[in-house]
Amino acid sequence: MQQRKNISIPLLFWSLCSSVLVVPVQSAGVPLDLDNHDSIKSAARRVAYDLVTFYTGNRTGDVPGNLPAPYYWWEAGAFFGALVNYWAFTGDATYNAITVQALEHQAGVKGDFMPVNQTYTEGNDDQSFWAMSAMMAAERNFPNPITSNLGWLGMVQGVFNQQAHRWDNMSCSGGLRWQIYPWNAGYGYKNTISNGGFFDIAARLARYTGNVTYAEWADKIWDWSEGVGLITPDFQIFDGTTQETNCTSYDRTRWSYTGGIWLHGAAVMYNYTSSSSTTSPSQSSAKWKPRLDGLLLAANHFYQNDSIGAQVMHEPPCEHQQRCNTDQLSFKAYLSRWLADVIQLAPHTYYDITAKVRSTAKAAARQCQGGETGTYCGHRWSSGKYDGTIGVGQQMGVLEVLHGLLATHISGPLTASTGGTSEGNTSAGTAPDETEIQEILFSHVTTGDRAGAAVLTVVFVGMLFSAVYTMIS
Ligand SMILES: *[C@@H]1O[C@H](CO)[C@@H](O)[C@H](O)[C@H]1NC(C)=O
Ligand SMILES: *[C@@H]1O[C@H](CO)[C@@H](O)[C@H](O)[C@H]1NC(C)=O
Ligand SMILES: *[C@@H]1O[C@H](CO)[C@@H](O)[C@H](O)[C@H]1NC(C)=O
Ligand SMILES: *[C@@H]1O[C@H](CO)[C@@H](O)[C@H](O)[C@H]1NC(C)=O
Ligand SMILES: *[C@@H]1O[C@H](CO)[C@@H](O)[C@H](O)[C@H]1NC(C)=O
Ligand SMILES: *[C@@H]1O[C@H](CO)[C@@H](O)[C@H](O)[C@H]1NC(C)=O
Ligand SMILES: *[C@@H]1O[C@H](CO)[C@@H](O)[C@H](O)[C@H]1NC(C)=O
Ligand SMILES: *[C@@H]1O[C@H](CO)[C@@H](O)[C@H](O)[C@H]1NC(C)=O
């Protein structure tokens, strides 16, 4: 947080003069010419370099794929997605090796992004963020995994199979819960980012593989989310709802990334239904185009005028008050990432999106003036000045905006029929069995607590399996 200082008039006078004199270097931020691809790439290179300084996972003794505190595991998953995109949009392969290593390591032994160190506290949305980065790797023909027996595509299919298995029609007639396991707070919460992540994965698998089963799931997830009111008739996207009220009460907060994830998935479905010859009658672009266009219009909520009247992306619930937490500081990165894809998947959105991406990029690059290098970025892009903060979220946000400017310069996300070569496995990702769940629980208690934990295990495992049993029967 910035400290307000009392500056005397003479000092203010001199600092104004000196800032005028040194303007070109001191306050220009990262240099950016919006109409010059080399300039865009070198700005992105600068911002990517500073971003990767936060990563310690490739140091001797550290764990590949982990970001240090305060960053949660899910954000690391998003971080490597930003590096996949950075390579795809700019062609700079500098960070490919650490990215392959990280994605593979955190995919875990089963390749399902449920690694032993995370499983106990992992949520569906956490798993999705890693899976979406693997999906980006598949769609962009990113270098394949080295040691895993699954390709990027197979990993995403594994996550899809698990989430489909977790679809919960015991309460609210459907939906995915936020948490995977009942011992985590928030198990009763059915949130939009978890359902949106599942929706996006299903849509992308449908488009990539052409398998209609995935498209039917995308439909089902949309219909449920709209049906309970998480997606309003004017395409506002609320944060979530809870089983305690049978999903009739909401947290109505509108975050840029929840708006973005449905927009992206709808664009994927629009693209898939426009190009595929094998879709069922319930699947048509006539259904998905109005949804896509409505979501794009609703996303105007995430822009505000900057000091010169240009539209710049912002995070309405917390940015203005400078109260965004570590997670929230990264949300604009995902909306920016998804907008670049939307331009490629639905070219009719080009004019609408590009104007705002350009003004956002200009404002965002201008305020990258912090940290050791003098180029680290802050979060309040529209303010016209650096806000004094640095972090993975801020850095990743500006990177996604910058390389997104090249969206019309490179080809769009691939599919298996347009050159995508990632290997799949439709039966990957079996859910953990009873023994594994006991191991997860036991590895998280001290020896002294084992007796108590044993009782808890019996209770939780009982709950889980009776739920599954009831679902099946
Ligand atoms: C980790 O990766 C970064 C970025 O590629 C690189 O600069 C650094 O040297 C690597 N560290 C080790 C120990 O390999
Ligand atoms: C799990 O975490 C511990 C402690 O940080 C680390 O030593 C170990 O390598 C991690 N395991 C995996 C598979 O990442
Ligand atoms: C409940 O969910 C399962 C698994 O997705 C599905 O097969 C079943 O048809 C659903 N039941 C109802 C009543 O919707
Ligand atoms: C609970 O909500 C679902 C979905 O909106 C609805 O279909 C169902 O009838 C509701 N059940 C009760 C008991 O109100
Ligand atoms: C934002 O600026 C544009 C001109 O660039 C103006 O037309 C519009 O009314 C402004 N909107 C708000 C909310 O101030
Ligand atoms: C679907 O996406 C591809 C790849 O970006 C693009 O070439 C194609 O024009 C899109 N199809 C439609 C109908 O917009
Ligand atoms: C399509 O995907 C479903 C769900 O994973 C799978 O069961 C089915 O075998 C797949 N079909 C084909 C033709 O691959
Ligand atoms: C696909 O995954 C299943 C389940 O993990 C496994 O049994 C099977 O051997 C895999 N198939 C291939 C071709 O790797």
pLDDT of residue 155: 98
* Predicted confidence (pLDDT) per residue in 142-174, tens digit: 999 999 999 999 999 999 999 999 999 999 999
Answer whether the bond into residue 70 is a cis peptide, omega within 30°: yes
pTM of the entire predicted model: 0.90
Task: Select the more confidently predicted residue: 194 or 11.
Answer: 194
281 ligand 5 Cβ < 6 A? no
Q: Mean pLDDT across the chain, nearest whole number?
A: 89
The conformational region for residue 84 under phi > 0 = left, psi -120 to 50 = alpha, else beta, is alpha
Return all residues near 169 (Cβ < 8 A) that are at least 6 apart: 471
- 470 lies in a domain? no
* Residue 473, pLDDT above cutoff 70: no
Query: Looking at ligand 4, which residue's alpha carbon is closest to its atom 13?
Result: 246
Distance 298 CA to ligand 1 centre (A): 41
pLDDT of residue 281: 61
- With vertex at residue 71, the alpha carbon angle to CA 66 and CA 77, rounded to the nearest 5 degrees, is 50
* Predicted confidence (pLDDT) per residue in 15-69, tens digit: 443 443 333 344 589 999 999 999 999 999 999 999 999 999 999 999 999 999 9
- How far is C-alpha 38 from the chain's CA centre? 27
The amino acid sitting at 449 is D
pLDDT of residue 458: 54
Q: Is-contact 281 358, C-beta < 8 A?
A: no
* Predicted confidence (pLDDT) per residue in 365-378, tens digit: 999 999 999 999 99
Distance 472 CA to ligand 3 centre (A): 8
427 ligand 8 Cβ < 6 A? yes
Q: Which residues line ligand 6 (CB under 6 A)?
A: 271, 274-275, 344-347, 412
Q: Which range (31-45, 185-199, 298-312, 425-439) has the least confidence?
A: 425-439
pLDDT of residue 460: 58
Query: Looking at ligand 1, which residue's alpha carbon is closest to its atom 8?
Result: 58
* Residue 250, pLDDT above cutoff 80: yes
- 455 lies in a domain? no
Q: Which range (1-15, 221-235, 244-258, 310-324) has the least confidence?
A: 1-15
pLDDT of residue 470: 41
- 442 lies in a domain? no
Length of the chain: 473
- 458 lies in a domain? no
Distance, in Å, from the CA atom of 462 to the CA atom of 438, rounded to the nearest integer, reads 11
* Residue 450, pLDDT above cutoff 60: no
| Ligand that comes closest to the CA of residue 268 | 6
Q: Is-contact 316 238, C-beta < 8 A?
A: no
Could you give the number of structural domains in the chain?
Answer: 1
| Ligand that comes closest to the CA of residue 271 | 6
- 447 lies in a domain? no
Query: Looking at ligand 5, which residue's alpha carbon is closest to its atom 13?
Result: 305
* Predicted confidence (pLDDT) per residue in 344-357, tens digit: 999 999 999 999 99
Q: Which range (11-15, 119-123, 326-330) has the least confidence?
A: 11-15
Averaged pLDDT, 238-262: 98
- 251 lies in a domain? yes
pLDDT of residue 14: 38
| Ligand that comes closest to the CA of residue 164 | 3
- 452 lies in a domain? no
pLDDT of residue 17: 39
Q: The domain containing residue 91 runs over which residues? A: 11-431
Q: Residue 33: which CATH number?
A: 1.50.10.20
Distance 79 CA to ligand 2 centre (A): 19
Among the atoms of ligand 2, which is closest to the Cα of residue 66? 14
Strands 311-313 and 303-305: antiparallel
Among the atoms of ligand 1, which is closest to the Cα of residue 52? 4
39 ligand 7 Cβ < 6 A? no
Return all residues near 177 (Cβ < 8 A) that are at least 6 apart: 124, 166, 168, 187, 188, 189, 190, 194
Among the atoms of ligand 6, which is closest to the Cα of residue 285? 13
* Predicted confidence (pLDDT) per residue in 332-347, tens digit: 999 999 999 999 999 9
| Ligand that comes closest to the CA of residue 51 | 1
Distance, in Å, from the CA atom of 396 to the CA atom of 405, rounded to the nearest integer, reads 15
What percent of the chain has pLDDT above 90?
A: 81
- 440 lies in a domain? no
pLDDT of residue 459: 58
Among the atoms of ligand 1, which is closest to the Cα of residue 94? 5
Q: Provide the sign of the torsion angle of the four alpha carbons 207, 411, 377, 16, taken in this order.
A: negative
Task: Select the more confidently predicted residue: 94 or 384.
Answer: 94
Mutate to test the pocket of ligand 6, among 275, 284, 341 (most ligand atoms within 8 A of CB): 275
Return all residues near 387 (Cβ < 8 A) that are at least 6 apart: 2, 322, 367, 378, 379, 380
Distance, in Å, from the CA atom of 355 to the CA atom of 77, rounded to the nearest integer, reads 29
Distance 90 CA to ligand 2 centre (A): 33
